[in-house]
Structure 1
Amino acid sequence: MPPSADPSVSVTLAEIARIAGVGRAAVSNWRRRHESFPAPVGGTDTSPQFALSQVEEWLQRQGKITEVGSRERLWPEFEALGDRDAMGAAIAATGARLAPAGSGEEPPIAEGLSDAQRSLVERAVVLARKHGAYDTFDFLLGRWLDTHVRQLSITPLPLADLMAEVAELSHDGGTDDIGTVLDPACGTGGLLLAAARRWADPASGHSPDTPLRLLGQDIEPPQAALAAVRLLLAGHSPGQGAEWTVDVQPGNTLRADPHADVRADVVLCNPPFNERDWGYEELATDSRWTYGLPPRTESELAWVQHALARLTPGGTAVLLLPPAVASRKAGRRIRAALLRARVLRAIVALPPGCAPPHSVALHLWVLRAPDKGETDPSSEVLLVDAADTQTETAGGTQRGGRAGIDWPLLRRSVLSAVQAGDGGEDRPCAYASVPVIDLLDDEVDLTPARHVPGPASAGLLGLRRSWTRFGTLLHELRDLTTTLSKLELSVEDRATQSTATVGDLIRAGALTLRSGQQPADGAVAAGDAPADAVPVLTISDMLTGGRPAGWLTAREASAGEAAGTLTVTTPDEVVIVGAYRAFDAWVDVDAPTVLGSQLFAMRVDPALLDPWFLAGCLRAPANARRAGTHASTSSRIDIRRLQVLRLPLPEQRLYGEAFRRLSTFERSLREAGTVGRELVNGLTDGLSAGRLPRGWT
């Protein structure tokens, strides 16, 4: 394969490192040590761009790579296509070429490929046949999704799996009765893939004589094409013992549905939100609106009725919808009709962060198509409030402690409620089966929090857990108090006798110092973060409590670090704040963390320095006063002037252990205050509701 079909394709230092299989620092060293290293052809001084063909030739001459050609070197050529749709179409065409013969046709989008795209597809196919078809396509799709994550609405894999499980539990026919699954707004096929992996395998109860049918449609042709080939390749990937048939079409589902004559056993869908131009005028007399014409502002209720219209009698649909659909005034007539027809079976309120937009607590709507043979339709609706399901934290510290979705806990709580199990004292969320007649009031507000008995059930469990945690913290504080109170400081002030500055330690090779960098505008997401998020810590966060308010996905953080545009910590690095009024230093035990401007990361040589000792010495208030540029509260700290005791490593470790226990003491004090406030608030709510136990004194 030639080095590059297009000599104009350029790569960053991070991409060169991936191609060569080394770290970015190694590439920077090559540039300094070798005059023959290719000169930049673009970019900036801090982020230069190099011609891919020149780089590959140099790497081969230097023996840095044995052959030209890898998945990493392939991606820059796709990225050079520039346009998101052009990149997606080329990746889809690559996947179609890699699919086993007879498993599917080339997607229509491939017919409009340019010569550059076709040439790139050919090289990608040659490479994939050496390195694995499914792995190569999955790599390209993952890079495409990462590059355009802000422009796409993707259903995270844990949520897709949960939606499939909820559909299975709600489907009366059982797993062996699920033969056709439809997603009318499938994106890149995540929900359909979750369904296939759950129901296509005969071990799950599916009949081996009838392959599972996966039907999908998306308004964006590149995404529809990507979904189709993704499902085809996944069905023939190594280790996949089951197969399925795939029919994914591009187009506007509400206006032109190619599956109008098909009836699915299950519909899974994450439809677009808040659409205004969904077809209100031209679809006014459509037969799908059995429960009323959706108002112009209620596009989500159009998707709800579309899903019901495409189900077999007794089939199940699970849709991910914004919470406003359950309460908006414009939709109350249709909500009432859904209740009276007994087709709305459950609404589950999820915690924020489960899917984009991450700041919103989305709802799952579970619907069941009317079955003519059903003689006793349910007269109740299950409402589940999992919006406050506790999140997992990394260590519970003020800095670095970050909230994410505890997916195992959320799955257990939601499935327990859908199964209508008792759940007992270990029930992690509140739910209730509410009679339909109680919901048919003037508002028809179906928001679960308005109807489930929160304080009386989940609240009691939360109080018990808080008391348990508070007791544990008090026990920890007693132990630490006993230990730390024995630290009778000696009269001798060793800091005045022998110290070294951070600058001295850097020159001696005992540590390296990295400066934090401000992420690009609009790159940082806000709100509760998903489980794999990397927090972005800024100086503003430090001034308002020390908890990161923003975050990036793990892939964004990794890509930014590799490109040299982000500073991401590693475990046991020391983080320092360079602003006087927020000055602090600590060991980042919860790494990775993305550091903004005025924050610094120190990586120590463990043979010369103990990180806890270093952090403890650096954070001393007297140290900040000495290293401050001036005495005002807006001054900055000259990090290189901060002083550290000169001690042998064994003695450093003794000091480091004392500093570590002092840090734990500080953290436990802070957490005890937080849990104490939760207890006060919970007890106040309960007492104000008249729930004081009889005989209490």
Structure 2
Amino acid sequence: VPDPIPNAPADEELSASDIADLAGVSPSAVSNWRKRYVDFPAPIDSTGRWVRFRGEEVLEWLTANDKLPEAAGPSTELTSIDDVLEEVVNRTRATHDPLESLAVAGAFAATLVEPGFYSESVLADLSELVGQELGQELRALEGTEDLYSNLVLAEEWDGYEEIADAVLRAADRISTSTRNNEGTTPPEVADFIAAAVAPSLGEHMEAKGVDPADVTPDAQKAWENHYWLARSVYDPCAGVGRTLLRAAQEHDDGDWPIHVSFFGQEINPGAARVASLVNRLKLAPLGDGPTDIVVGDSLQQDHFPDRKADLVVAHPPFGLRLPDGLGDDPRWILGNPGRDGSFAWIQIALSKLSERGRAAVVVEPSWAFRGGPSRELRAALVRQNLLDGVIALPRGTFLPDTNIGGLLVLLAKDRSNREPPREPGEVLFVDWTLPNEVGSPPPTAGQSFDGSFWKHCFANWRDVGTAIASWEGHLLPELTEEFKASPGPAYFRGAIEEFSRRHEDQPEVVIQTLGNFTSVNFFTEQATYEDIANNDFDLTPKRYLAFHSGFGQGAVESFEEESNRTVLIAEEATTTAKATVAAMKPLAAFYAGQKPDRAPMLRLTTLGDLQAAGWIEMIAGRGTGRTTDTAATEDTPLMLTSSWIREMASGKAPETHNLVAKSAKIPQDSLVKPGDVIFAIPGSDNGQTAVWTATKTALGAALGFGLYAIRVNVDGGEPAELTPDFVAAWCRTGHLSHQVHKFSTGDVLPKLRWRDLQRIEIPVPADAAAHDWFTKQVGLHADLRTSHKKLSMLVENLSAAESRFFDSLIASAEIADDERFGV
């Protein structure tokens, strides 16, 4: 990880934030000192973004002006290890690096634990870890000896674990306070990684209380063939050791000592010291298993060139671009990564694997879809059968306090000869951004994954072949057959209720089975090489999960049920607004007269096919050269933005009008014409697609970033049934928003690539009767809107009703396609 931000040593350079931490004030206070005191130390170099000061000068000025926090007097109140460690770090902040102080303080606390069987070897290792005799090192931290007098610790192993946990918590606090969180991996991220690399029986059959042979044949198969435990674990960017520790814990069954070796590198000396301490304390019962974490930059030099590992884990720093001079590294087994830091870490992991080795590396989301050399390296991963899985992590897990979730890339060298064997391209894509429980909100970075229902789905797919969540849900085949036998999605809810009633004597099995069904059908998807190649080796998980955006939105109702629902709403609204009676009665009669056997038929095609046939034109917004300059000339086009479209779609009048800068050159055929159906890509909230049909007021406007327009060529011949009104109604459905979310790239500013826009499926009326049905529906709605501007109950639900009708008909069309092709 990057060099640590110095916090006190006099020979280091300090930023304004470091000075604030050192003095215990806010950065704004430091800014005021610079303005108020003429003798405040001058910065070393004011050019560039970061201003630095000489640590010696700053420390001297803070001391002379009494700006350093006063040291607390001897304490007789501190009895918890958390309080003691925090006090030691605070007292020594002006003279020592906080992580260095923390490591020494934690090691000294371990000497106070009641000795036991493991103590002699543990204390010998700790003395070596801190680099000096513990007593001498502690005395160097002047004024801290008194803090341990009332410390209460558990005996031996429990005491060591208590200290290790407290050291990790203190390291998290230090990381946050110094604004350098790249030195520590959040607990939830370590949980994600550990869950993915765990053996399929990592849950130990509910804490080793169940014989696998008594559960399912799959469990027996896993026990016999896949209970593989790593004997060596490596982390090239170890931080404070949490990821290394959690991965190791998943490979210890707890019943007998497993001699596992742990090794890694860490560029931050203080973090490396903490990692060595924590891992030795936590792994004390493993006896001979050594912990070897050295200080060094893994990108520049491999300190363990001759050592291989059964398991490699890595949570690298975010957005790292590689320096020059690394092109001929023998570890680049797939190719030169160029400036791509993520591919450097992936290849470092691969180069360290043993013959049966596995690896897990966290990368930024853009790694999955970047073009150029990165695309070729992704293709090489797939073709050489090294890629095992890609898991989408919740937002904020890769880079805390942001919307960036990250991807967990799973690698393996034994895919072709393990059980079950995997061919190149047989990759499992998993989405852990969806709710941990059905009906709950999506997880965020601050939520621990350790107890999540879904955490073993990847390991079970890898080792058994099915991405189930739990061995106890063994009724999955029965439930799956019931869903296949259902006439359509509208009947799924009834199938679940009937299944639950039939097995009401096994409520836990029912819950676990429903969880397995959700895991297999919603959270995961096994791709083929053809699937990945067709997506141009874009490895974004949501591209492969068919029901990604539909999760939690409920089943699609049948056409008959939607008609009945709309009839009821229309009839209720008729009694509340006399002004709408004349327009509403024919509408109610229209829906009441619908019968399932006379439902309009749709056929599915793609936007690209319609464009190739000349039936539509597509326009993608550029968003280049936007300005709010009111002095722009009258011929300067209006720039439509996503927020502007959303307000227009909701019936509001946008207040801000952005103009295209004079320097921007936008083709005339890309400017908006009346009748263009414009939709805005949903943001990170995964909301509904905003749709607006352009009027004369937008004539000649340009589309901003994230906006797309479909222009129907009404004079272009077949299909005459395709109209702007029809396209606009479809754009409001979940059918489009699900595809947009699936194909879009980027978290902060999502967009659709042109080739993906062309791949989007769109329904068109199958015949003139279907066209007439939709035309009449739209006409009746228009009459109602005209007759009564104040929206009644029906009018408020028009868009939703149209969307539901579309969804029910699209579901019928998809089922018809499946039946036609024998699916």
TM-score by length of 2: 0.44
Matched, 1:139 2:166: yes
CA distance in 2, matches of 1:70, 1:288: 42
Residues 176 and 123 (structure 1), Cα distance of their counterparts in 2 relative to 1, 3 Å cut: farther
Residues 211 and 315 (structure 1), Cα distance of their counterparts in 2 relative to 1, 3 Å cut: same
Q: Deviations over 1:93-151 (max 9, x none)?
A: 23334363333443367699998743356556666586755534543542342242242
Contact 1:343 1:369 in 2 (8 A): yes
Matched, 1:234 2:264: no
Contact 1:182 1:215 in 2 (8 A): yes
Structure 1 residue matching 2:101: 3-state secondary structure = helix
Matched, 1:390 2:413: no
Deviation at 1:387, TM superposition (A): 4.8
Instruction: Determine the structure 2 residue equivalent to 1:627.
Output: none
Structure 1 residue matching 2:142: 3-state secondary structure = helix
Deviation at 1:266, TM superposition (A): 0.7
Matched, 1:107 2:129: yes
Instruction: Determine the structure 2 residue equivalent to 1:359.
Output: 403
Contact 1:182 1:216 in 2 (8 A): yes
Contact 1:267 1:316 in 2 (8 A): yes
Instruction: Determine the structure 2 residue equivalent to 1:443.
Output: 536
Instruction: Determine the structure 1 residue equivalent to 2:106.
Output: 95
**Higher percent of residues as strand:** 1
Residues 392 and 242 (structure 1), Cα distance of their counterparts in 2 relative to 1, 3 Å cut: farther
The partner residue of 2:545 within 452, 457, 468 is: 452
Matched, 1:217 2:265: yes
| Structure of greater Rg | 2
Q: Deviations over 1:209-245 (max 9, x none)?
A: x511111211111111101001111123xxx687732
Residues 167 and 137 (structure 1), Cα distance of their counterparts in 2 relative to 1, 3 Å cut: closer
Give the counterpart letter for 2:388 in structure 1: R
Give the counterpart letter for 1:197 in structure 2: Q
Structure 1 residue matching 2:545: 3-state secondary structure = coil
Residues 414 and 315 (structure 1), Cα distance of their counterparts in 2 relative to 1, 3 Å cut: closer
CA distance in 1, matches of 2:334, 2:85: 51
Deviation at 1:441, TM superposition (A): 5.2
Matched, 1:157 2:202: no
CA distance in 1, matches of 2:390, 2:445: 28
Instruction: Determine the structure 1 residue equivalent to 2:617.
Output: none
Structure 1 residue matching 2:525: 3-state secondary structure = strand
Give the counterpart letter for 1:368 in structure 2: A
Contact 1:391 1:403 in 2 (8 A): no
Structure 2 residue matching 1:258: 3-state secondary structure = coil
Structure 2 residue matching 1:185: 3-state secondary structure = coil
Matched, 1:274 2:319: yes
CA distance in 1, matches of 2:367, 2:95: 31
CA distance in 2, matches of 1:265, 1:299: 23
Runs of 5+ unmatched residues, structure 1: 1-8, 13-41, 43-47, 468-473, 475-548, 550-673
Q: How does 1:576-615 map to 2 (within 5 A)?
A: none
Instruction: Determine the structure 2 residue equivalent to 1:53.
Output: 73
The partner residue of 1:322 within 364, 369, 372 is: 364
CA distance in 2, matches of 1:679, 1:344: 44
Deviation at 1:427, TM superposition (A): 1.4
CA distance in 1, matches of 2:359, 2:396: 22
Contact 1:224 1:248 in 2 (8 A): yes
Instruction: Determine the structure 1 residue equivalent to 2:9.
Output: none
Residues 152 and 422 (structure 1), Cα distance of their counterparts in 2 relative to 1, 3 Å cut: closer
Q: Please tell me the root mean square deviation across aligned C-alpha atoms, in Å.
A: 4.9
Contact 1:84 1:148 in 2 (8 A): no
Residues 340 and 226 (structure 1), Cα distance of their counterparts in 2 relative to 1, 3 Å cut: same
CA distance in 2, matches of 1:165, 1:402: 15
Structure 2 residue matching 1:268: 3-state secondary structure = strand
Give the counterpart letter for 2:242 in structure 1: G
Matched, 1:199 2:256: no
Instruction: Determine the structure 1 residue equivalent to 2:777.
Output: none
TM-score by length of 1: 0.52
CA distance in 2, matches of 1:408, 1:441: 33
Residues 146 and 416 (structure 1), Cα distance of their counterparts in 2 relative to 1, 3 Å cut: same
Q: Deviations over 1:581-619 (max 9, x none)?
A: xxxxxxxxxxxxxxxxxxxxxxxxxxxxxxxxxxxxxxx
Identity of aligned residues (%): 22
Deviation at 1:327, TM superposition (A): 0.7
Q: Deviations over 1:391-434 (max 9, x none)?
A: 569998xxxx9996775134255556555426556314342222
Deviation at 1:448, TM superposition (A): 1.5
Residues 370 and 200 (structure 1), Cα distance of their counterparts in 2 relative to 1, 3 Å cut: closer
Instruction: Determine the structure 2 residue equivalent to 1:427.
Output: 518
Matched, 1:118 2:141: yes
CA distance in 1, matches of 2:304, 2:381: 23
Give the counterpart letter for 1:142 in structure 2: R
Structure 2 residue matching 1:337: 3-state secondary structure = helix
Contact 2:319 2:341 in 1 (8 A): yes
Residues 53 and 179 (structure 1), Cα distance of their counterparts in 2 relative to 1, 3 Å cut: same
CA distance in 1, matches of 2:128, 2:141: 13
Instruction: Determine the structure 2 residue equivalent to 1:380.
Output: 425
Deviation at 1:293, TM superposition (A): 0.3
Deviation at 1:310, TM superposition (A): 0.1
Instruction: Determine the structure 2 residue equivalent to 1:600.
Output: none
Structure 1 residue matching 2:234: 3-state secondary structure = strand
Runs of 5+ unmatched residues, structure 2: 1-21, 26-61, 63-67, 112-121, 202-221, 469-475, 481-516, 559-564, 566-684, 686-795, 818-823
Matched, 1:293 2:336: yes
CA distance in 2, matches of 1:461, 1:437: 29
Matched, 1:183 2:243: no
Residues 137 and 402 (structure 1), Cα distance of their counterparts in 2 relative to 1, 3 Å cut: closer
Residues 683 and 262 (structure 1), Cα distance of their counterparts in 2 relative to 1, 3 Å cut: farther
Deviation at 1:687, TM superposition (A): 4.7
Give the counterpart letter for 1:445 in structure 2: D
CA distance in 2, matches of 1:126, 1:466: 69
Q: Deviations over 1:616-647 (max 9, x none)?
A: xxxxxxxxxxxxxxxxxxxxxxxxxxxxxxxx
Residues 83 and 199 (structure 1), Cα distance of their counterparts in 2 relative to 1, 3 Å cut: farther
Give the counterpart letter for 1:145 in structure 2: D
Residues 181 and 678 (structure 1), Cα distance of their counterparts in 2 relative to 1, 3 Å cut: farther
Give the counterpart letter for 1:249 in structure 2: V
Residues 395 and 261 (structure 1), Cα distance of their counterparts in 2 relative to 1, 3 Å cut: closer
Residues 383 and 115 (structure 1), Cα distance of their counterparts in 2 relative to 1, 3 Å cut: closer
Q: Deviations over 1:255-289 (max 9, x none)?
A: 1222221110011111122112x34x322111111
Q: Deviations over 1:326-378 (max 9, x none)?
A: 11013001111111110111111123244533512321111112689789752
Q: Deviations over 1:651-674 (max 9, x none)?
A: xxxxxxxxxxxxxxxxxxxxxxx9
Deviation at 1:694, TM superposition (A): 6.5
Q: Deviations over 1:550-581 (max 9, x none)?
A: xxxxxxxxxxxxxxxxxxxxxxxxxxxxxxxx
Residues matched between the structures, number: 427
Contact 1:329 1:443 in 2 (8 A): no
Residues 422 and 180 (structure 1), Cα distance of their counterparts in 2 relative to 1, 3 Å cut: closer
Give the counterpart letter for 1:329 in structure 2: G
Residues 338 and 355 (structure 1), Cα distance of their counterparts in 2 relative to 1, 3 Å cut: closer
Residues 175 and 115 (structure 1), Cα distance of their counterparts in 2 relative to 1, 3 Å cut: same
Instruction: Determine the structure 1 residue equivalent to 2:412.
Output: 368
Give the counterpart letter for 2:346 in structure 1: V
Give the counterpart letter for 2:193 in structure 1: M
